Structure 1
Amino acid sequence: MGMPVIAYFSKRIKSGKALQDATTVTVNGQAAKGAWFFESSAAGNGPVEGHFRLQNYWPAHAKVHVGIPAKGLSAGPGLAYDDSLTLDFSTGPKTVAIVNDATHKMTVTSDGKLYGTFGVSLGATKTPTFRGTKVIMEQDRTTCMHDTNNTYYECGIKWDQRLTYSGEYLHAAPWNVSNINNGVNSSNGCTNLLPAVAEKLWHFMRVGDVVQYPNADGPAMQLGSGYGDWNVNWPQWQTGGLVSTTA
C-alpha cells in the first residue's frame, strides 16, 4: 500500500519532464495521477533513483498498471532513456500501524478494523527512533544487528521487519520484556516487541505496509532513510526533487 515504484538510472539524468509526461498509471482499469520524485540512490544502484507514487497510498485490494514508454525520450541535454517498461501489481489490505511514543503502544488496523494494540520500547535518549512515516522494506525470520557505535554485533534476532536503511526494525526483543511491558524506551532505535507479538505481526504484515511514528523523539524521517516517500508533501513531490519534472 505504501511501496513506491522505484527506477534506477545508470547516469545522472538532467530532466525528468519527458519521463513524467509519458508515464501512465491505472488502478482497477481507471486512470490515476501519479508523479516521479528523484534523489541520489540511497541503495547505491547508480547515481540517481526515481520514485513514483500517487498523492495518497495505493488503494487496497486493487490491480495497478504502470506504463513507462520512455525509450528514446530526452533525459536532458545529451541524454536519452534507453528502455520502456511496464509494471503490474496487486495490493492487499490497507494495513497501517501507528506507534505512539506517549503511550508506548503500537496500534495496527487492517481495512479500517482494529487488529490489535501492542506494547513497544523505542529508542533510548542517545539512540532515538526516527519520527514520521515509514514503510516495511523487507522481512527476515532472523538477522544480525549492531549498534551505531559498533560496540556489539549479535545474530539470531528474530521476526525482523526493516524500516530504514540504517537498521530500524520491528523485531522480537526477549531481553527487553520488562521495558516493553513498562513503557520504557531503551532500544538502539528499533521498535522492540514481545517475541510472540513480533512473530504474530511478522506473519500478518507485509512488505509495503505503512508504520507511522507521529511523536517519536528522533529526527524526522527522510526520503533517503528508507522508503520515506510519504514524508514529502504532494506539492513538493510534484516538482521532481533532485531532477525537475516540469522543465
Structure 2
Amino acid sequence: MAGLMMTTMVVACTPKSAERGDGGVGAGSAAQDTGPQATVTVTEPAAHATGVEPLAKVVFTVQHADRTQVEVTDADGATVKGKTAPDGGSWQPEKAFAWGRAYTATVTATTAGGTSTTATSSFRIKKKPAKVVRVTSPFGDGRTWGVGMVMVLKFGRSIPERYRADIEKRITVESTPTQEGSWNWFAKDELHYRPKTFWKAGTKIGYNAQLTGVPMGQGWYGNAHRSFTGTIGRSLIITVDDRTKTMTVKKDGTTVRTIPVSLGAARTPSSSGTHLIMTRERHARFNTMGAQDPRDRYDIPVEYAQRLTWQGEYIHAASWSEPSQGKVNVSHGCINISVKNAAWLFANTLVGDPVTTKGTPRKVDHANGYTDWNSDWDDYRNGSALN
C-alpha cells in the first residue's frame, strides 16, 4: 500500500483522561481493573498513508479485550458506515471511500473491567484516476420480476480475464430464502447471475457491487458502487411447442391457459431455447424497411409486444395471422397469438418470465437476449472466474 509504512501499537497504561492522538496515545486502566491490559494495533492503512485504495479495509489486532469498537470519520467529522469482519480483525466501509478524501480510523479496545485503549490511523484515498470504467445495471430497484430473472452488470469496456475474479470477489449477492447461484461472464463486458434452478416465488434478491477503484486492466479502474434489489413474483412459465402449434401457460405449477400460435415460417424460423421476457410494450411499431430482402420489409403497428431476443423475436398480437394460429407457421420469427390472448397474456406477465420454445429448426444464439438458462448448471458455473 502506498504511503509511510508505520504500525501503531498502544498499551493501556495511562489514566483515562490521557490525550489521544494520531499514532496511538491510548487511554489507561481503571484502578479496579487488575487483569491483563488491552493492547490494540492498527496496521492498515498505515498512519499518514496516501494513495490508499477506495475499498481499503482498516486492519487491526487486539489482545486482552472484551469488546472492540471501530469508528471511521471523514475530514468533516462525518461517520463512515461500515462493518467489522466476523473474525474481529478488520473493518470495511459499506460504500467505497471517496476519491482523494482524508479519513481517520479509531479503534477502541475495552477490557471486561472497563479499561479502554485506543489507536488511530489517519490516511488519504488516492486521487480519481484518469481512466475509469463505467459500470451500470439495466434494471431498476424495487420492482417485481419473473422466476427466470438474471441479475446483470455491464461494463464500459471489455474486462481482461485476469481481473475478473477480483471483480466477483467485490460483489455480494443476497437472496431470501437462500438459493444456490453463480456469476457468469456472459460476455467480455457483461456479468450475469442466476440461481441453479428458477427462483422460488416471493424471493427477495439483490447484489452490492463495491467496484470503485477496482483494477480492470491496462490502467483502468471501476468508477462506482452499484447495487440492485428486487422481488420475484409468482411462478409463471410459458412453453411453446412448434409440433402442436400451442403455447402452454403455467402459473404456480397449474396450467391456466393454452393458446394457439403461429411461429416463424420456414424461411424465417423462430428460435428454440429458453428465453426471458426482456421488455413489454402495450403499443409498438415494427419497422424493417431497411431489410436487404424486400420480402422482409414492413412497417406496422403492433399491440402487446413482449421482446424475447435482441434480434427482434417477440410474442405479440397478430390479428392478420389468426386463421393460421394453431395450424401453420407464417410469421417472420415472432410468436403470433390472437389479440384476445395477447391482451390476457400481457396482463399476466412480468419481465423475467421464462419462455421455452421447442421443436423449431433453429436454436437461439448465445447472448441473443438473456439466454442464461440454455446452459446446464456446471457449464454456467464454469463461466465464473472464481470457478
Instruction: Report the 3-state secondary structure (helix = DSSP H, G, I; strand = E; otherwise coil) of the residue aligned with 1:224.
Output: coil
1:232 aligns with 2:375: yes
Give the Å deviation of 1:75.
Answer: 2.8
- Tell me: higher relative CO, structure 1 or 2? Use CA pairs within 8 A at least 6 residues apart: 1
Contact 1:135 1:163 in 2 (8 A): yes
Give aligned pairs, total.
235
**Match of residue 158 from structure 1:** 303
Residues 84-109 of structure 1: per-residue CA shift (max 9 Å, x gap): 22211101011110001111110000
Task: Label 1:76 to 1:238 Cα distance change in 2 as closer, same or farther (>3 A).
Answer: farther
Using the alignment, how far apart are the partners of 1:201 and 1:209 within structure 2? 11
Contact 1:223 1:232 in 2 (8 A): no
Contact 1:20 1:36 in 2 (8 A): no
Alignment equivalent of 1:109, drawn from 241, 244, 250: 250
Residues 160-200 of structure 1: per-residue CA shift (max 9 Å, x gap): 1111111111111111111104x101110000001100111
Alignment equivalent of 1:54, drawn from 181, 195, 198: 195
Instruction: Report the 3-state secondary structure (helix = DSSP H, G, I; strand = E; otherwise coil) of the residue aligned with 1:180.
Output: coil
Alignment equivalent of 1:28, drawn from 164, 176, 194: 176
Using the alignment, how far apart are the partners of 2:316 and 2:337 within structure 1? 6
Show the 5 A alignment for 1:1-247: 1-14=147-160, 15-28=163-176, 30=178, 32-39=180-187, 48-76=189-217, 78-146=219-287, 149=293, 151-181=296-326, 183-218=327-362, 220-240=363-383, 245-246=385-386
Instruction: Report the 3-state secondary structure (helix = DSSP H, G, I; strand = E; otherwise coil) of the residue aligned with 1:12.
Output: coil
Q: Runs of at least 4 residues of structure 1 off by over 4 A?
A: none
Using the alignment, how far apart are the partners of 1:101 and 1:86 within structure 2? 40
- Partner amino acid, structure 1, of 2:190: E
Using the alignment, how far apart are the partners of 1:103 and 1:163 within structure 2? 21
Using the alignment, how far apart are the partners of 2:179 and 2:224 within structure 1? 23
* Stretches of structure 2 lacking an aligned partner (at least 5 in a row): 1-146
Structure with higher helix content: 1
Contact 1:138 1:207 in 2 (8 A): yes
Give the Å deviation of 1:23.
Answer: 2.2
Q: Give the RMSD, CA atoms, in angstroms.
A: 2.0
Structure with higher strand content: 2
Instruction: Report the 3-state secondary structure (helix = DSSP H, G, I; strand = E; otherwise coil) of the residue aligned with 1:118.
Output: strand
Using the alignment, how far apart are the partners of 2:212 and 2:246 within structure 1? 48
After alignment, is 122-131 or 84-93 more displaced? 84-93
Using the alignment, how far apart are the partners of 1:238 and 1:75 within structure 2? 22
Using the alignment, how far apart are the partners of 1:139 and 1:35 within structure 2? 26
Contact 1:37 1:238 in 2 (8 A): no
Contact 1:141 1:160 in 2 (8 A): yes
Return the index of the structure with the highest Cα Rg.
2
Using the alignment, how far apart are the partners of 2:366 and 2:150 within structure 1? 11
- Partner amino acid, structure 1, of 2:185: F
Task: Label 1:239 to 1:30 Cα distance change in 2 as closer, same or farther (>3 A).
Answer: closer
